Structure 1
Amino acid sequence: MAVRPPRWYFSLRSPYSWFAYRELTENARDVADAVEWRPYWEPGRVTAPLLADQGIELAYVPMSKEKHLYILQDVKRLAAERGLTVGWPVDTDPDWDVSHLAWFLAEDEGMGREYIGRACEARWGRGLDISDPAVIAGIGKELGLDGDALAGAAEDPQTVRRGVEALRQVSRDGVFGVPFFIHRHDKFWGSDRLDRFVETVRAGSRPAPAAAGPHSVPAEPAGQAPAGDAGHAGGCG
């Protein structure tokens, strides 16, 4: 059986994915080149009904108010440590199909990574609504791409089919939050797990088990998912 390549799931709506993107492309380019880049997003207007028709349900848990407030504080702190200023976006009714389906078209032109960088900067650096097709068109034009095509990706049946298949892969891989990294049988959730993922990809082997310590968290029993809005710094749903 062929060994599946390492892969990471990114989302344009996640500030932690933004941090992971910057660290991968700036400090671990060899790993960025070695892994598959895969989008993850909450299904929107066009993909949600198609996934429902196929009986596919992603492991997505709506964020609690308490976690949302914590993330605001945490992201501000982590951004400051990286010399970044966050321009908090105002998008009261986002449709993540718009920005994520556009990525497929940018990727076709060899500009997928650049698109992610521009989209994250637009959302987290300038506080723009990347669910607005006009914003996506502007990003496309900045990259020398067909901005109108990117802005209309969610209206293109072929691109929508690719998006549905990508979200099917999200379900098959058991991804429940972002950023999410997979190497062989090992899964890592959160930007604060990126260093460990980079180590395992570079080593080409499974990581050694972490030693138990006073702050160790017991593993969940097999087949039992944590209840509620579980999470940790470095990742979000």
Structure 2
Amino acid sequence: MARRRPRWYFSFRSPYSWMAYRDLMADHRDVAERIDWLPFWEPDAETSGHLEQAGISLPYVAMSKEKHLYILQDVRRLARDRGLEMVWPVDRHPRWEVAHLAYLVADELGHGPEFIAAVYRARWEEGQDISDPAVIAYIAERLGLDPVRLSTACDDPAVREHGLGSLNSLYRDGVFGVPFFINGYEKFWGVDRLPGFVSSVRAGAA
């Protein structure tokens, strides 16, 4: 059996995933170009129903108030250490399929990295609501992609089927949070584990 490529699971929702993306692209672009980028999101009721039928249970746990308050403090500290200006978005009616399934379409069209960069910028630097199809349509248009196709990806049965495959992949990989990096049998969870993952990928390449 062929060994799977190194990979990292990211989420547009997570500020830690955003910071890992910034670190990866700023300091480890050679590794970024040699790994698979796979989305992680909290599924809506329709997706959850399909996962349940397939016997897939994702390890997502609702966040406590205490953890939320800690994350607010921790993220501000980490952003300051990186010299990043961030805006904490307000998710009034989050539907994470909107952005993450649009990513799958953009990736199939060969524009996955550009889409990721634009969505992270919209959410964490501009405070936009990426669950709003109009925001995704605007991003797609700026990238020269079909705004209707990307903004309605969450309503396309074929794209949803692709999304189920992505969630099944993270289930099989034992992913329980983001950012999550895997190289062979080695797993690295958290933005502070990125250097170890980078070293592991580079050692394998050497």
Provide the TM-score with structure 2 as the length reference.
Answer: 0.96
Query: Which runs of 5 or more structure 1 residues have no equivalent in the other structure?
Result: 206-237
What amino acid maps onto 1:68 in structure 2? H
Would the aligned equivalents of 1:46 and 1:160 in 2 still touch at CA under 8 Å?
no
CA apart distance, 1:126? 1.1
Deviation at 1:136, TM superposition (A): 0.7
Using the alignment, how far apart are the partners of 2:151 and 2:49 within structure 1?
21
Q: Which has the higher helix share?
A: 2
Quick one: which amino acid aligns to residue 157 of structure 1?
A: P
Taking the TM superposition and a 5 Å limit, the aligned residue runs for 1:221-232 are none
Distance (whole Å) between structure 1 residues aligned to residue 144 and residue 48 of structure 2: 30
Q: CA deviation at 1:98?
A: 0.7
Moved more, 97-106 or 196-205: 196-205
CA apart distance, 1:46: 3.4
2:2 aligns to what?
2
Q: Contact 1:40/1:167 (CA < 8 Å) preserved in 2?
A: yes
Match of 2:184 in 1: 184
Match of 2:131 in 1: 131
AA partner of residue 188 (structure 2): F
Distance in 1 between the 2:70 and 2:180 partners? Answer: 20
Match of 1:168 in 2: 168
Moved more, 64-73 or 37-46: 37-46
* Identity %, equivalent residues: 57
Match of 1:151 in 2: 151
Deviations 1:37-84 (A, max 9, x none): 111111124322211221211011111111111111111111112221
1:118 aligned residue: 118
Structure 2, unaligned runs of 5 or more:
none
Q: 1:28 & 1:44 partners in 2: Cα distance?
A: 33
After the TM superposition, which residues 1-237 of structure 1 pair with which residues of structure 2 at under 5 Å, given as runs? 1-204=1-204
SS at match of 2:123: helix
Paired residue secondary structure (1:128): coil
Structure 2 Cα separation of the partners of residues 26 and 60 of structure 1: 30
RMSD of the alignment, in Å?
1.2
Deviations for 1:215-234, whole angstroms, at most 9, x for unmatched residues?
A: xxxxxxxxxxxxxxxxxxxx
- Matched residues in 2 for 1:72 and 1:135: separation? 24
Aligned length: 205
What's the TM-score, normalizing by structure 1?
0.84
Per the alignment, in what secondary structure is the counterpart of residue 115 of structure 1?
A: helix
Q: Deviation per CA, 1:13-37, whole angstroms, max 9, x where unpaired?
A: 0011111111112211111111111
